[in-house]
Chain A
């Protein structure tokens, strides 16, 4: 079957014949019959179209509701904002639309339908590629672009060019234009000598079509299977802080694919030497907008010298089989806490999470040991601090022009003793007592770089040593993305060929008339979309006429015998 049974070219199915009572009798289908019926339905064009439109429709909810894969914080927020609706939506996998059962079943059915359609078409096309063009139809006048031209008789009343020679020159012309040709010679019913050439071109149209669909299957399979071999992880690096070594424990978070093994991690190290950010200082509407981020890093692969590299947005670092992307940045104030005797009990650059475009940032400092009580602090960092009319602090510019750090201190149980891992970015204050800020009546600790201040209740002192920046790096490994690109490029190439190369048949028929004239008929047949068919037939007729008249002026060259 060349096309699905409901392709518009195929004749409409006959209505079933009613029996003597006028009831429609369908043939009985056995189990295999039903299977075949189901397969026919699934692989029909109509089903494919239905599934395509259903796929478009099913993709919509994922853009209306935040998705766990793309926006996990948005999902958490959605649960907070819509406490009754969210669990119901979660039941129907609305937060994981693109991995949900219903979305997956639509595209899997679509691809099964596609494969079921493409395989028979590939076989048919393979046969067509080896077949000869069909016989010339008896009446060309019914076909597209038909025209008849007459060649005047030569000296002595005989045709100046024989039908066979005329058709042979048409054959050569068509072959040169990329047609596959076959010549038929016979006499018509009036006994006139007739020759014709049947030609077909544009087989690449169907080839492109098959390549396009096969490439789509290729993308799906590569993504589905190959995605399991990759991984992605995140790591925050502070300027001149810790060194990242590519091992599982060095990641802050890590998402392995199904077939990931730890041994596939190639050991290398990355150290952040400096992070620079440039911001717009002029344009009115865009004051403070970032212009450039650059992470200057020193990397080292196993057994090799250290290398200095830059990691920028849009310019990831390719190292050790992974790609390292600069996806975030912020401030990490360096904070030191001393006990009343002056011994350092805590010193670290603490990454703060940016809250707005001017990088007002929030962070948490936890001092579990060394002081009389466990200490937790929630800090706000303002790179360029300003005070609003209500007395609240905010940041007016993302660069550290006038940095200020404020801290609310809590004492009590940090919740770390149980050994349960907790987030370094949040503080559970349920079992803690607030010592500064809020309703305590004690002013929050407020520090500028280099400042030092006493902690409340004589617990010790705290100092803000310097402003440091951190870079948040995403480290990805996806061995299949080259293949996906290859398949995508093939799909595009296949699409271009299948949409813009016309598949057409052209016939040239020459008949020697009894009056010595030679009647030449030209006609074409579109196979699929072919808006230029009539023009193409006309052009062939023109070129053929020119060849024939040129041949007549000079001596007719010996027909070349190479078919």
Chain B
């Protein structure tokens, strides 16, 4: 087997693990919905605390086993505490950097769960932990695949569409894992692994090209910097997009007043409230914006060396500029009355849609100087 074939094999292995992670994350969301429906309190970290009053009728250790009568009665009651708990657990996760929010305030812990002073039981989410473990393993495999491809090509592994996709998805997962050490965003796992799977699926099927040497225009140190930072910016925008999307759902749920009216997506009750989601999305997106600004400047510096002008309204330049302006609009929208909240979230979503368009459509179908897809 050649090195490139090893790289492809590792990449497929990584995709299998991401698929497993996707399933585990999806099961976690389903579990959250079921637990919320059963009237239990579900934390941002997926931990389930059985409501004390349900405990009397339910068998110990099994949160799902809440009797139907008790469960139905406590739905409305459990709703408010769930939201409250979600926020304060998340706040603590921020305050104690690196610390993971825990569901229970006190009480001992054993394999089955944690016993609260009020007789409630807190159980951590197994599927969520499995999802993270699969994601981490998949990430390690994909990094290896990416590095092997780079070694085989004897250059940085981001010089055509196939390689951009590989490095870009490595960064999306990497940023997701790193951000998770600071804030518990594991509930985004379904979205992140799903997005990465789709991107990798498209790129391995449609974008794969054999290893080829760099054309003269790409033989520059700026390839290393400009493209890498652009991918890094994209990874942060992807996370911001996911948060803004959930923020919109969450604010719809909040406006509608009760989980009962909003029949689907019950797991939303276990996620942070829309204000906190908005703040998180903003913090992720501004990091992406800074990287994007750098990409724009570095790209201009490179364009001056390679093409003799720093700005020429090439199609890719136009779209990079459009994305920059949309996110600039997003940042301003957060400071404008009437635009904070859902409207600014829409801008973040449109911004990421433009990022995907710039990557998937402009690279392949538009005529311009950035025609390095290798296709």
Contacts and interface: CB of A to CB of B under 8 A. Distances in A.
11 contacts: A7-B336, A45-B332, A45-B335, A46-B337, A55-B325, A63-B322, A285-B212, A315-B305, A492-B293, A496-B290, A499-B289
Interface stretch (B34-42, B60-68, B127-135, B313-321): B313-321
Interface of A: 3, 6-8, 10, 12, 45-46, 48-49, 52-53, 55-56, 59-60, 62-63, 66-67, 69-71, 74, 97-98, 232, 280, 283-286, 289-293, 312-316, 323, 325, 327, 474, 476, 478, 481, 484-485, 488-489, 491-492, 495-496, 499-500, 529, 531-532, 534-535, 538
Contacts of B301: 485
B245 interface: no
Interface string B265-296: 00000000000000100110010011001100
A315 B261 CA distance: 64
The 4 closest A-B CB pairs, nearest first, are A286-B212, A313-B216, A325-B308, A56-B325
Contacts of A290: 215-216
A66 B300 CA distance: 20
Contacts, number: 155
A46 B314 CA distance: 30
Contacts of A59: 318, 321-322, 325
Contact of A63 (B95, B335, B362): B362
Contacts of B210: 283-286
B326 A56 contact: yes
A529 B329 contact: no
A112 to B, nearest CB: 16
Interface SS majority for chain B: helix
B112 interface: no
Contacts of A313: 216-217, 219, 306
B307 interface: yes
B333 interface: yes
Given A49-B329, A313-B219, A531-B279, A62 B318 contact: yes
B215 A534 contact: no
Given A59-B322, A488-B300, A529-B282, A49 B213 contact: no
Contact of A98 (B282, B313, B336, B366): B313
Contacts of B332: 45, 48-49, 52
B329 A283 contact: no
Contacts of A7: 335-337
Nearest to B318: A63
B367 A74 contact: yes
A116 to B, nearest CB: 15
A325 B217 CA distance: 12
B100 interface: no
A208 to B, nearest CB: 12
Contacts of A500: 286
A531 B95 CA distance: 9
Nearest to A291: B213
A534 B362 contact: no
Contact of B329 (A52, A60, A280): A52
B202 interface: no
A323 B305 CA distance: 9
A314 B336 contact: no
Interface string B212-230: 1111110110000000000
B168 to A, nearest CB: 21
Contact of A314 (B217, B329, B340): B217
Nearest to B341: A8
B211 interface: yes
Contact of B313 (A67, A327, A488, A535): A67
Contact of A499 (B211, B290, B308): B290
Contacts of A46: 336-339
Contacts of B53: none
Contacts of B312: 69-70
A292 B279 CA distance: 49
A492 B290 CA distance: 7
B153 to A, nearest CB: 10
Contacts of A285: 209-210, 212
Given A232-B308, A314-B219, 12 more contacts: A6-B336, A8-B334, A45-B336, A56-B322, A59-B325, A70-B369, A286-B210, A290-B216, A325-B307, A478-B309, A491-B293, A495-B289
A492 B315 CA distance: 23
B313 A62 contact: yes
Interface string B246-276: 0000000000000000000000000000000
Contacts of A476: 308-309
A495 B293 contact: yes
A160 to B, nearest CB: 30
B216 A53 contact: no
Q: Which residue, A63, A69, A532, has most C-beta atoms of chain B within 10 A?
A: A63
B373 to A, nearest CB: 13
Given A69-B313, A531-B279, A52 B325 contact: yes
B279 A280 contact: no
Contact of A531 (B283, B289, B309, B326): B283
Contact of B94 (A63, A492, A496, A531): A531
Contacts of A492: 290, 293-294, 297
B133 to A, nearest CB: 29
A147 B213 CA distance: 62
